[in-house]
Amino acid sequence: MKLTLSSDDRQFQEEVRDFLNDNLTPTLRRAGALMTSVFADFEAAMAWQRILHEKKGWAAPSWPEAFGGTGWSITRHYIYAVETAAADAPRLLPMGLDMCGPCLIGKGSTAQQQTYLPPMLSGDHFWCQGYSEPQSGSDLASLKLRAERDGDHYVLNGSKIWTTYAHHASHMFLLVRTRSDGKPQQGITFLLLDMKTPGLTVDPIISISGEHEQNQVFFEDVRVPVSNVVGQENDGWSVAKYLLEFERGGQAYSPRLHVSLQKVRHLASQGHAGERAIDDELFRLKLARAEVNVRAVEAAELKVMSALEGGQNPGAISSMLKIIGSEAAQHITELAVEALGPYNQVWQPAALDPKQAGDVTPVGPAGGVPVLSTYLNTRATTIYGGSNEIQRNIIAKMVLGL
C-alpha cells in the first residue's frame, strides 16, 4: 500500500509541523528523544497530552469523533505519526487512550463512556492495566485475583504485578476471577476501579537501572461496584481479547522505527575510537535488512489502520504486527549498540533524565546516551502484551486453522 499526499493532506502536514514547532518545548523534545522504552517520562507525557487536548483536540486521534476523536483519514493518521516521531514528541501513555478508551467505546455502557472517556482525554484521569499476576503472565486464563459478589459490589482479594505506572494512576482496568468452575476463560470479569478505593496497596518494583515504571498492587477486601463491569460478568475474556487487539496492533511502530533507523545511520557515520561502523560492509547489510523489515511493518500497519477506519477491529493481523514490529525494534537497537562502539557501555543516568539532561555534558555522542538503556528495555517488547510465542499461536489458530 502506498500513500500519495493530496494538496489538502500536504496542507495538513504543514499544519502539524507548525503546531509541533510552536508547542514542543526543548524540555518536551528532550523527554521524547531520551525515551528508553515505550513509556515516555510521565510528567512530560501528561503535559504534552494536555497541550494536544486543549489546543487541538488531538489527544486521541483514532477515537470516533463522537467521543472526542479527530475523524482523520488513514493518510492523516499516518502523517501525524510520522511528524510527531520526527519531532521527538513525547509518546502519550497508552493504557487509557490506546487501550481502555477504545475498549469502552466498543464494549462499555453509555454511562461508563460518559463517566470515564472525557477525563481520560483531558488527562484528569490516568489509567493503569491490571492483568498480569505473580503466576499469570501471558497465560492470563490462569489468573487468580478473586472477586466475590456481595450485593451490588465485588470484594477483591489477591494481587497484580508488572503494573506500569500504578503509582501515578487514578484508575485501573483489570481482570478478576468471578467463577472457578468450568473453563478458566469463562470465569473472568473485566472491571473498572478507582485507585483511591480502600484496601489497595501499591508497592514499587525498581529496575536494575534504578527506574520506577513497574509495581505490584495488592488487594485486601477491595470493594468495587457491580456497575463497573464492562460487558457481562464471567465474559471478561472476550472483552480482554478485544482490548488486547488494540494493545498489540493499535500503535504505529513504523514511524518511530524509521526515525530510530536514521539515528543509527547517524551514529554509524560518526567516528568512535577512529572507526566508523558505516564503513563495514556487513554492518551496511544489516542496515539494509532492517530497512526492509521496517517497510514490512509499515505495510501491515496501514492495513490495520484501514480496518479500524472501516469500523472493524484489527483481528489476527494485530498479532502479526506485534511480532514484526517488536522484533524490528529489537534489531534496530542491536544495530545502535554496535554503531556506538566503545561508548555503548557508559552508564550516565543523569544524562538520561529529561529534567537534568540539559545541564549534563554526556560522555560520547549525545545521540548515544539512550542507546544501551533502550536496547535493554526493548528486550521486553517480545514478551509484554502477550509474548510473541502466544501471538504465533493466535495466528496459527485464527488464520491457519491449526
CB atoms within 10 A of CB 135: 10
Q: Which member of 247, 298, 301, 338 is catalytic?
A: 247
Q: What's the rounded Cα separation, in Å, for the pair 401 and 147?
A: 35
Under 8 Å CB-to-CB from 233, ≥6 apart: which residues? 178, 189, 226
Q: What's the rounded Cα separation, in Å, for the pair 211 and 217?
A: 18
Beta bridge partners of 146: 157, 177
Where b means 16+ CB within 10 Å and e means fewer, 14-51 reads eebeebbeeebeebbbbbbbbbbbbbbbbebbbbbbeb
Q: What's the rounded Cα separation, in Å, for the pair 15 and 3?
A: 18
Is-catalytic flag, 247? yes
Under 8 Å CB-to-CB from 299, ≥6 apart: which residues? 1
Q: What's the rounded Cα separation, in Å, for the pair 339 and 264?
A: 7
Largest Cα–Cα distance in the chain?
73
Q: What's the rounded Cα separation, in Å, for the pair 246 and 60?
A: 13
Q: What's the rounded Cα separation, in Å, for the pair 83 and 45?
A: 17
Q: What's the rounded Cα separation, in Å, for the pair 222 and 218?
A: 9
Q: Which burial class, exposed, middle or buried, applies to 202 when counting CB atoms under 10 A from its CB (0-12, 13-18, 19+)?
A: middle
316 near 394, Cβ under 8 Å?
yes
Q: What one-character-per-residue DSSP string does 298-309 give?
A: HHHHHHHHHHHH
* Positions marked active-site: 247
